[in-house]
Amino acid sequence: MAQEKKQNSTDGSGLSFQELIFELQKYWANQECVIVQPYDMEMGAGTFHPATFLRTIGPEPWRTAYVQASRRPTDGRFGENPNRLQHYYQFQVVLKPSPDNIQELYLISLKAIGVDTKKHDIRFVEDNWESPTLGAWGLGWEVWLDGMEISQFTYFQQVGGLDCKPVTGEITYGLERIAMCLQDCSDLFELAWSRTKKAKVTYGDIYHQNEVEMSRYNFDLANTDALFNWFDVCEKESQKLIEEGLSIPAYEMTMKASHSFNLLDARGAISVTERQRYILRIRSLSREVAQSYLESREKLGFPLVKN
Amino acid sequence: MLKTRDLLIEIGTEELPPKSLKSLATAFSEQMCLALNEVELDFNDSSWYATPRRLSLLITDLDITQKDKEHQRRGPSLSVAFDKNENPTQATVGFAKSCGVEVKELEKLESGKGAWLVFNTILKGKKTNEIIPGLVEKSLGRLPIAKRMRWGNYNIEFVRPIKWILILFGNKTLNCEILGIKSGATSFGHRYHHPGALEIKSPSGYSDILRNKGHVIVNYNERLSLIRSQISSVAKNSKGNAIIDPGLLDEVTSLVEWPVSFIGNFDQKFLKLPKEVLIATMQDNQKYFPVTNDKKELMPLFICVSNIESNNLELIKKGNERVIRPRLSDAVFFWEWDLKYGLKNHRQSLKEVVYQKDLGTLYDKSDRLVKTLSLIGEKINLDINSAKTAAALCLCDLLTKMVSEFPKLQGTMGRYYAKAEGENNDIAIALEELYQPRFAGDKLPKTLPGQCLAISEKIDSLIGIFSIGKAPTGDKDPFALRRSAIGILRIIIECEIDIDLKDLLSTAASTFSNKNQSLNCINDVYTFLMERLRHYYRDEGFSADVFESVFAINISRPLDFHHRMVAVAEFRKLSEAKSLAAANKRISNLLKKSEEIDSVKIKNNLLVEKSEIKLARKLEDYKKIITPMIDNHNYKSALTELAGLRKVIDNFFDNVMVMCDEPDVKKNRLALLSNLNFLFLEIADISKLQD
């Protein structure tokens, strides 16, 4: 599987990776979404970003869109697999309450990035989402573009163990996969990140070395004793902060614990039995954070609720 | 005569779950018909339609109103209805008032049971279009939806968000609000071909308009047949045959409104993967149909059913080919990784996987299987060493990367990896056969080690789960123990393994660490197995009394049980069966009634009547003939022989008074009958046979 040369990357056609982001941001900004910035911490998915996890809690309406890096240490392939990365990007859209035309809005966004919905086979295939660590679940679909899963679509039913009222609609675009379709490219390291008349910078130019070195760290070198210890520290900190009524730093500690767990998992340091216990520990933090955040917003009078 | 009209209902939704689409649509139709029956509205016929974005039904010739109905309300009894002065009592006035009429309008009802004041009235039937909204809402509320969801800011719950509701009664829109959505006369076509509204003018024209204008084939079964024929012809064009899994065909039918099938390629090099892996990747991950050549070997092709008539099909094909490639590359990665790691090397890691809280780890379980198999091996002609190796290896593949990716390949991957590691064929095959039969009617293990391993694993599950108090109750059977039980019985009977269930149970129970618990539940598990055996024979078409006749004599070797079942079923067809059954019933009643006989030894000197002398002599002759037959499990011949006793027995009962006054003669006669009874009971309790 090593470094197969792509045969069919057609330069010049399709949006570059950065243009793809620009277009999505522009499109969703026009749909009243606040474009926030990536969170400055490691996380497994865009859903962990407080702009999703915390904002879906409680009655306040909210619309946002942003890019978020996802880190999934176990998915690393040392830069040798043209389809897998341990660090990749999601474009996250959060619409609360979910509008009646949410599917149509999504399909128009595809047109905005150059997908002709009359030429391609685009389908909504049932995929119900559950995040055991976030105590969250929802119903929805993965969206298939010619058989490729390019997005996930979820109506949140519960977050942090709390019922979602109103329901948030979450759309997560897998940016690399979409770019591969748009650029007709079968090696993600060959994707054009930016493309001008003068030069092309590829995804690989920016991230290949990162994949090689991070895979090595994740799989072989991460200090497991330190990570186990760090997990405990973060858990305690989080609990302490919840007692202080500080849900936001408490949540950051939860995320740190969660990432430590992911690294330990990649290192193979957690047995199958223990694994479940660690997940439950993170979930119980998430639940307490959610409850605490709800209370703090209530104290503030749910400021985003109009009228 | 009442007038009728056709009724069309379409619930437009966001994409419904494909695996439950058909059951949702049929349930909607059933519930609606049921609801119409409940309110006594007649109709001619009902049909259901289903696509990913709609559940619809058409009901033809539905009454436009309910029939008027005579109604009688019963008031106070005549005895208390009027006072001495013939004036209505308080009760009567109150009753009339509650009926909204004067007292004089009430009538009298007299019957054998008494007499009352009654109010007779005719209830006008309601108009159907007033009733329908409520019925639709009720029917939707009764759909078998595993998880209902909410959306937006509404307080509605359904399987997916509802987008529109179309109700036509005759050619008129039925305006109402259901689950917060206003109904109308418009449907919507295919998401991409005809996203706009479609006016439906009449219920009967529904499916044509959807097809001709909307690019939607609403009829589920029609769509399914179309897909099947598209797939077959696409495969034929490439000189192949499509593997059409019925479950997948249903799923794909539920994912498209306008099917367009095409064939795609993948790199030949992936054919080195086990074919089950290729098939699982294609079917489970991508919903593709695999293609085989004349020799039933997989070809590097897949058939995809898309949901659009694109003017650039090549684009869609290329896109799909780009997806399957990394999927298969991943599979190669798992395959090579697993091969490198080795199957055996997972054994120790089984210690880290909990099988069941209170029942230890998977390692403990495989260890028990090793022990159980060795003990079974002592009883039947089994190569103990290979069986033990198989038992030690059998759960290891659960930890391979391939099985974590495709759980349903458990066992199958075990077979491949064991073979790659140089284990002999029998062992490798046993690892896969462990899981057989996987479902009702599935094939059984072919090899003896596989059969024994499959039996041991299932017995271990039964005892384990029973011993921790989680035996199936009612329709709850989370560990699928009924299936395991049937599996054990089928293997023993159909693969002809002569093994004693009670033995097997105590053998398996002795391998648990908490022996108190496991040994304690043996009787319950045995009863459970026998109950399953009863179901097994019912499903096999044996009549219940045949089962009872064998069950009554406590046979714990299922194979032996089976031979007797077959023999009794044959015997039951004989003309002699009926009277012999009756005679046996009579004998056992006599024996039950009489005090204990001190000896079953027949004293020839006490035999008086001719027919009893004859019976005694015949009995001796038959014993000599039949005993060796029974020893050889040749129950059929034994029973056929015994049928020959009919005349002698009938004669006996016609001419001999068993319960005579002479106590010694009576005792002797009872002893004679007891001997006769015993002879039959060696095979089955024939007295249980019914006419």
Question: What are the tens digits of pLDDT across the range A51-80?
Answer: 999 999 999 999 999 999 999 999 998 998
A4, pLDDT greater than 50: no
As a three-state string, the secondary structure of B137-179 is HHHHHCCCCCCCECCCCCCCCECCCEEEEEEEECCEECCCEEC
Distance in angstroms between the alpha carbons of the first and the last residue of chain B: 50
**Is the CB of A124 inside 8 Å of chain B's CB atoms?**
yes
The model's pLDDT over A123-160, given as tens digits with 9 standing for 90+, comes to: 999 999 999 999 999 999 999 999 999 999 999 999 99
* CB pair distance less than 8 Å for A82 and B326: yes
Closest CB to A119: pick one of B16, B312, B353.
B312
Taking only the tens place, the pLDDT of each residue in B356-413 is 878 888 999 999 999 999 888 888 888 888 888 999 999 999 999 999 889 999 999 9
Average pLDDT, stretch B515-523?
A: 91
Q: What is the pLDDT of residue A305?
A: 94
Could you tell me the domains of chain A? 17-217 (3.30.930.10), 223-299 (1.20.58.180)
Mean per-residue pLDDT of chain B? 92
CA B285 to chain A, closest CA, distance in angstroms equals: 9
Q: Is the pLDDT of residue A117 over 80?
A: yes
Predicted complex ipTM exceeds 0.90? yes
The pLDDT mean for chain A works out to 93
Mean pLDDT (whole number) for B64-69: 90
Question: What is the model's pLDDT at position B597?
Answer: 67
The band of B339, judged by pLDDT with boundaries at 50, 70 and 90, is very high
**Cross-chain Cβ contact B286/A147 below 8 Å:** yes
Neighbours of A239 (CB within 10 A): 15
Query: pLDDT at position A9, please?
Result: 36
Residue in chain A closest to B15 (alpha carbons) equals A124
Which whole number is the average pLDDT over B595-604?
A: 75
Among A122-126, B68-72, B520-524, the minimum mean pLDDT is found in: B68-72
Res B1 pLDDT > 60: no
Compute the nearest-CA separation of A101 from chain B (Å). 9
pLDDT score for A288: 97
**Span B234-257, average pLDDT:** 97
Query: For residues B650 and B594, is the Cβ–Cβ distance under 8 A?
Result: no
DSSP assignment of B255-302: T-SS-EEEEEE--GGGGGS-HHHHHHIIIIIH-PEEEE-TTSPEEEEE
Q: Give the model's confidence band at B5: pLDDT under 50 very low, under 70 low, under 90 confident, else very high.
A: very high
CB within 8 Å: B17 and A181: no
- For the stretch B473-496, pLDDT in tens is 888 888 899 999 999 999 999 999
A97 touches chain B (CB under 8 A): yes
**Alpha-carbon span B600 to B330, nearest angstrom:** 76
Give the separation between CA A107 and CA B192, rounded to whole angstroms. 10
Task: Please give the residue of chain B at the shortest CA–CA distance from A183.
Answer: B319
Give residue B56's pLDDT.
97
Strands B162-169 and B4-13: antiparallel
In 3-state terms, what secondary structure has residue A200?
A: strand
A31-37: long-range contacts, CB 8 A cutoff, minimum separation 24: A31/A63, A31/A95, A31/A105, A32/A63, A33/A63, A33/A64, A33/A65, A33/A93, A33/A94, A33/A95, A34/A62, A34/A63, A34/A64, A34/A65, A35/A64, A35/A65, A35/A66, A36/A64, A36/A65, A36/A66, A37/A66
Residue B69 vs residue B243, higher pLDDT: B243
- Count chain A–chain B contacts defined by CB atoms under 8 A: 118
Is 90 exceeded by the pLDDT of residue B605? no
For the cut 60, the answer to whether the pLDDT of residue A6 exceeds it is no
Q: Best of A146, A183, A185 to disrupt the B interface by mutation (most B CBs within 10 Å)?
A: A146
Selecting from A97, A145, A147 the residue whose C-beta is nearest the C-beta of B304 gives A147
What pLDDT score does B113 carry? 83
pLDDT of residue B75: 87
User: In chain A, what residues touch B153 (CB-CB under 8 Å)?
Assistant: 97, 165-167
- CA torsion A112-B264-B271-B250 (nearest 10°) is 90
Beta carbons of B147 and A141 less than 8 Å apart: no
Helix (H, G, I), strand (E, B) or coil at B32: helix
Residue A307 pLDDT: 60
Which chain A residues are within 8 Å of B163, Cβ to Cβ? 100
Q: What is the DSSP letter of B411?
A: T
Average pLDDT over every residue of A98-105: 97
Q: Which residue of B has its CA nearest to A270?
A: B352
Task: Tell me the mean pLDDT in the region B128-156.
Answer: 94
CB contact under 8 A, B310 and A166: no
C-beta atoms of B310 and A119 within 8 A:
yes
Q: Is residue A155 less than 8 Å (CB to CB) from chain B?
A: yes
The SS3 assignment for B57 reads strand
Q: B690 pLDDT exceeds 60?
A: yes
Distance CA B668, CA B664 (A): 6
Give the chain B residue nearest A141 (alpha carbons).
Answer: B15
Q: How far is CA B476 from CA B453, B462, B530, in A?
A: 26, 15, 19
- What are the Cα distances from residue B349, in Å, to A271, B189, B397? 9, 55, 11
Please give the pLDDT value at position A273: 67
User: Smallest Cβ distance to B147: which of A107, A121, A139?
Assistant: A139
Which of B66, B71, B74 lies closest to B126 in space, CA to CA? B66
Cβ separation B18–A103 shorter than 8 A: no
| Range of weakest confidence among B170-174, B657-661, B682-686 | B657-661
Distance CA B391, CA B383 (A): 12
CA distance A195 to chain B (A): 23
Residue range B339-354: mean pLDDT, rounded: 90
Q: How far apart are CA B86 and CA B501, in angstroms?
A: 82
Amino acid B516: pLDDT: 86
Collect all residues of chain B within an 8 Å Cβ-Cβ radius of residue A107: 191
* All domains in chain B, ordered by first residue: 4-66+127-212 (3.30.70.260), 69-123 (no CATH), 220-341 (no CATH), 357-400+413-541 (1.10.3210), 576-688 (1.10.730.10)
* pLDDT score of B279 more than 80: yes
Q: Which two tokens stand for residue A148?
A: 């490729």
Rounded (10°) angle between helices B522-539 and B501-509:
140
Q: Count how many Cα atoms sit within 13 Å of the Cα of residue B286 in the half-sphere of its side chain.
A: 31
Residue of A nearest to B147 (CA): A139
**Best residue in B13, B16, B149, B151 for a mutation probing chain A (most A CBs within 10 Å):** B151
Peptide bond into A166 cis (omega under 30): yes
Above 70 in pLDDT, residue B550? yes
Q: What percent of chain B has pLDDT over 70?
A: 99
A7: tokens are 């045969």
Contacts with A103 from chain B: Cβ below 8 Å:
14
Q: Which of residues 166-225 of A touch B (CB under 8 A)?
A: 166-167, 169, 180-181, 184, 186
**A126: chain B residues, CB-CB within 8 Å:** 15-19
State the pLDDT at residue B2: 58
**CB B460: neighbour CB atoms within 10 A?**
24
Using a CB-CB distance cutoff of 8 angstroms, which residues of chain A are in contact with residue B326?
81-84
Cis peptide before B52 (omega within 30 of 0): no
Q: What are the pLDDT digits (tens) for B19-66?
A: 999 999 999 999 999 999 999 999 999 999 999 999 999 999 999 999
Query: Residue B596 above 70 pLDDT?
Result: no
All residues of chain A having their beta carbon less than 8 Å from the beta carbon of residue B192 are 117-118, 122
Contacts with B307 from chain A: Cβ below 8 Å: 121, 123
Cα gap B460→B570, rounded to integer Å: 35
Instruction: Say if A1 is an interface residue toward chain B (CB within 8 Å).
Output: yes
Residues of chain A with pLDDT > 90, as a percent, come to 86
CB-CB under 8 Å, B152 with A100: yes
Contacts of A117 in chain B (CB under 8 A): 192
Taking an 8 Å cut-off on Cβ atoms, the answer to whether B152 and A98 are in contact is yes
CA B496 to chain centre: 25
**Cβ-defined contact of A121 to B322 (cutoff 8 Å):** no
Nearest CB to A117: which of B192, B329, B330? B192
Alpha carbons B60 and B72: distance in angstroms, whole number: 33
